[in-house]
Chain A
C-alpha cells in the first residue's frame, strides 16, 4: 500500500459494483454479470473503474449480417457478454463495431474458456500477433492450430473481433490469460490497492442507488 492508495477487497468491489452499474445506467438484468466483469478486469490490472464513468447506452446491440455486431457506442461492459454468448452459441466470428472497452476482452475470453470454448477476443490488425494487451488467447486451447484458424478469420475481419469454437479435448494453459487470472487470484487472496478517486467513484455511485430516508421510510425497515 502506498500513502496515496486505499486498500480494498475483491469481494467488496464485487458487492458494490452492481449498484454502481445500475446508477451508471445499466439495467438490473445486466448489472450483476457486468459487475463481475468489471471487478475481474480491475483486479487483473487490465482496466480500471473508469468504465463506471462512461455509463451505459441502454440500446441493444445490432447484428449486421452474420459477421458484425454494432454496439452503437456502448462498452463491452454493457454488451460484451451478449457478444460472447452469440459467438459461442453459433461458433461465429464477428467484428464488433462502434464499441468501447476493448481491455475487457480478457475477461470475456476467459469466460468463454470456462464454458468450454476456445475464444479469440481482442483488437486484431493481423495474425500472428499477440501483444498481451489487446489479443487474448484463451486458457485451455488444446491445439495452436485451432487458435490460429480462429485468429486468421479474425484478422481477415480486422478491428475488435470475437470468435469462438467449441473445444473437445484436453485443455492446456495459455500465458496471456493465465497472468491476468493470477493477478485476480492474488487480489482475491490479498485485496488490492486502488486510487482513492477510483474507489470514491464506485462507492459514490453505489450509494446513489439508495433511496432517501424519511420517518415513514424508517417504519418500512425490517
Chain B
C-alpha cells in the first residue's frame, strides 16, 4: 500500500489553505502531500478513517470548548420505555429544544430505511422556546402523514430512530435487576440506531443556509449530527427511566458505560451519491484533511518526547478500538512499538534515522500492506498537531461554499488543457469495456430511497441519478474535438448546452483539489460501500463495517463527552 510519499505537481487551490504556521512551511508540506489518485481512488475510499476534522468530532469539540449547556427538562417514560422527553440547550447564547417521543416499538426486523414509515422514536429539534403542544403537533404530523408531514420554520429538523435489538432490552432488564449490563456486549455498542435526520427544508423545516455565521449549528452537518448526539442522551435516559419504573431498586448506568455507548447508524447508497453531488464540499473536507496530514508528515526530526508518546498512546488506542480488524490492530500495535523504539534509539522501523519521522512511519506502515491500518495511523498523526488541524477545519465552511458555475470567458483551448491535466483518469476509462456501464443509480417511489439497478434488466434507467462523471467528461472531450481553440466557452455552450454540467465540474477541478472521486460508479465491480464509508468517515463514524456492498454500519459519538462532562469542566 502506497503511503503517497511525495508529489511533484501539487493540485490547484491549496495555497489559500496554507496560512499562519502552515504558510511558513508550505514547500515542505506540498512535497509530502498525497496525490488525488491516492486519496480518492476506490480502494482509498473504503479505508478512510475519521479524523479530528470529521464533523462529529468538531461538533463535540465545540460543545465542550464553548460550554453548551444541555439539560433534560422533562422525562415521562413507562416501564416499557414508552413516553416522551424534552431537552433544553443553551448554546452560545442560542436557545434550542429537542422534543423526543418514544413510541411502542415496531414489531419485527427493521433497518431504519427511508422506505419505512414507522419508527420507535421521533424527535424534533426546535430553535427558541417551545411548548408541549407544539412538539405534539409535529409528532402527530409524522405519525399521521409520515414523510408527507409538514412543520414550519421554527423547526430545524425531524429525526427518527429505532431501538437496538441487541442491547436496548438487555440493558433495561439488567438495570431493573440492579446490575450493570454485560460489558462484553456493550463494546462499541449503542442503545438506539439513528434512522435519519430530515432538515434543511425537508417537510418545511428551516433552511440551513439561513443560520447566520457564528450560529452554533452553522458549521456543515452540525445540525444533523447534534440531533444524533441528542439521541444518544435520550437513549441513556430512557433505559434508566424504564428500569426505574420496573423496579425501585434499579441501577443506573456506570459513568464509564454511559460515555462508551454511542448512537448506531446505518447508511445506504444515497450517501455515496452525495460525494459526487457536491464536489466543492468533497474538496473542502479532503483538502483540509490531506493538508493536516501533510503538515505532520513534513515535520523534521527530532520530535518532542511528549509528541512521540502521545502518538504511541493513540496508536495503542486505535489498535484496541472496537471495529478495528485484527490485522489492522497488529500493524497499529507494531507502529506504536516502532514509535517507542524511535523515542529510545532515534531509529525507526528498518533501522534508519529518518529526517522526517512521521513520513517514515507512514511509509513503513504503508509497506505492511494494510490500508485500514495506514488510514488509522494517518488519523492519529493528525492529532499530533491539533492546532494546525483545527485551523484548517475552520476554513472548511468557506471552501464548501465555492460555487460550481461556468466560467464562460475561458477558451476552448484552455478547457481542453484543463481536461487533460485534471481528468486524465476519467478520459482513460474504457466505457465500452464489458461491465463498464452495467449499473445505474436511481431513486425509487418508495419515498425516494436510493437504489442501484442493472441497466440491461431493470426499468428506470432513463430516470437515473447523476453519477456518471466519467461519461459526461468523455462526451465533453469528444464535443470539444475540432472546435477552434480560441472559441470562448460561453459561445461553445450556447451551441452545445448539454455539456454545461461537465464544463462546470472540469472548471471547478481547475480551481480546487480533491473534488472528484476517481472511480466509475456505473461499473459492475464498483462497490458502493466504499463511497459510503468515505462519506461516513467525513462525518466521523467509528467502527464502520460494510454489512453488504450497499450498506455500512457504525457508531457515532461512542466515548464522546456527555453534558455532565461539560458541566464538570465549566
Interface residues of A (CB under 8 A from B): 6-15, 22, 27-30, 32-33, 60-61, 63, 69, 79, 81-90, 115, 188-191, 207, 209-213, 216-218, 220-222
Judged by a CB distance under 8 angstroms, whether B406 is at the interface is yes
In the bound complex, residues from chain A placing their C-beta under 8 Å from that of B37 are none
A212 touches B206 (CB 8 A): no
- Identify B206's interface contact among A9, A86, A207, A216, CB under 8 A: A9
Q: How many angstroms from the CA of A30 to the CA of B528 in the assembled complex? A: 26
CA distance A86 to B449 in the complex (A): 39
Structural contact, B443 and A209, CB atoms closer than 8 A: yes
Question: Given A61-B497, A189-B210, is A221 in contact with B201 using a C-beta cutoff of 8 Å?
Answer: no
Question: Across the two chains, which residue of chain B brings its CB closest to A12?
Answer: B201
Q: Tell me the bound Cα distance from A205 to B488 in angstroms.
A: 35
Q: 5 tightest A-B contacts by CB?
A: A222-B550, A89-B490, A11-B201, A211-B460, A12-B201
- Chain B residues closer than 8 Å to A115, beta-carbon distance: 405
Give which listed residue, B153, B408, B443, B452, contacts A88 with CB less than 8 A.
B408
Known: A10-B201, A222-B452. A32 touches B490 (CB 8 A): no
Scoring B205, B405, B496, B549 by chain A CB atoms within 10 A of each residue's CB, the highest score goes to B405
CB-contacts of B467-509 with A (<8 A):
472, 488-491, 493-502, 504
- The interface residues of chain B lying within 8 Å CB-to-CB of A61 are 494-495, 497
Given contacts A9-B153, A12-B202, contact A88 B490 (CB under 8 A): yes
Cβ-based interface call for B208 (8 A): yes
Shortest Cβ distance from A175 into chain B, in angstroms?
24
Contact B550 A221, beta carbon cutoff 8 Å: yes
CA separation between A22 and B504, bound complex, in Å?
19
Interface set of B (CB-CB < 8 Å, partner A): 113, 115, 150, 152-153, 200-210, 268-269, 272, 405-406, 408-409, 442-446, 448-453, 458-460, 463, 466, 472, 488-491, 493-502, 504, 528-529, 532, 548-551
Instruction: Name, among B201, B498, B502, the residue most crowded by chain A CB atoms within 10 Å (CB to CB).
Output: B201
- Cα(A189)–Cα(B268), bound, Å: 31
Contact between chains at B202 and A7 (CB < 8 Å): no
Q: Which residues of A contact B210 (CB under 8 A)?
A: 10, 188-190
Q: Are A14 and B494 in contact (CB under 8 A)?
A: no
Complexed CA–CA distance, A13 and B442 (Å): 20
A33, A63, A222 — most chain B CB neighbours (10 Å): A222
A92 vs B493: C-alpha distance when bound (angstroms): 15
Assess A69 versus B494: contact at CB under 8 Å? Given A14-B201, A29-B501.
yes
Contacts of B489 in A (CB 8 A): 85, 89
Inter-subunit contact B500/A191 (CB<8 Å): no
Q: Which residue of B lies closest to A1 (CB)?
A: B152
| Chain B residues whose C-beta falls within 8 Å of the C-beta of A14 in the assembled complex | 201
How far, in whole Å, are A89 and B490 apart by their CA atoms in the complex?
A: 5
Task: Give the distance to chain B from A32, nearest Cβ to Cβ, in Å.
Answer: 7
The one of B205, B409, B472 that contacts A89, using a Cβ cutoff of 8 Å: B409
Closest chain-B Cβ to A26's Cβ sits at a distance in Å of: 10
What would 25 A/B residue contacts be, using CB atoms closer than 8 Å? A9-B207, A10-B209, A11-B201, A27-B497, A29-B502, A63-B491, A82-B490, A84-B408, A85-B493, A89-B491, A90-B491, A115-B405, A188-B207, A190-B153, A190-B210, A191-B206, A211-B442, A211-B444, A211-B445, A213-B445, A217-B444, A217-B453, A221-B115, A222-B452, A222-B528
Cβ of B113: which chain A residues have Cβ within 8 Å of it? 221
Residues of A contacting B153 with CB < 8 Å? 7, 9, 190-191
Chain B contacts of A83 at CB under 8 A?
494
